[in-house]
Amino acid sequence: MENILDRANFYKLETIAIPAFGTGKLRYPPDVVAGAMFSSIQKFRNTHRGTCLETVKFVVFHKDSIVVRVGTIA
């Protein structure tokens, strides 16, 4: 996540979309993945005050009902 956010900042992107890493075949718990992703973004925002990056969207497979449900709760 940190590398992705750093690259987005380097290229002065305003919006990026990132898949929910590891929730498919790797079967990482969706709540843990969501927490780690949100935490990474919060850390990035705190250390990169002048960034152009305004919107980060998480992409989930629409048939993965568990991940979709966790995303609506967060």
Domains in the chain: boundaries? 2-73
Q: Look at residue 25 in the predicted model and tell me its pLDDT.
A: 81
Q: Look at residue 27 in the predicted model and tell me its pLDDT.
A: 82
Q: Look at residue 59 in the predicted model and tell me its pLDDT.
A: 83
Q: Look at residue 44 in the predicted model and tell me its pLDDT.
A: 95
- Go through 36-50 and write b for each residue having 16 or more CB atoms within 10 A of its CB, e for each that does not: ebeebbeebeeeeee
What is the third-level CATH fold of 2-73?
Leucine Aminopeptidase, subunit E; domain 1 (3.40.220)
The 10 Å Cβ neighbour count of residue 58 is 17
Walk along the chain (74 residues) and give the pLDDT tens digit of each residue. Answer: 899 999 999 999 999 999 888 877 888 888 888 888 889 999 999 999 999 999 999 887 666 666 556 555 54
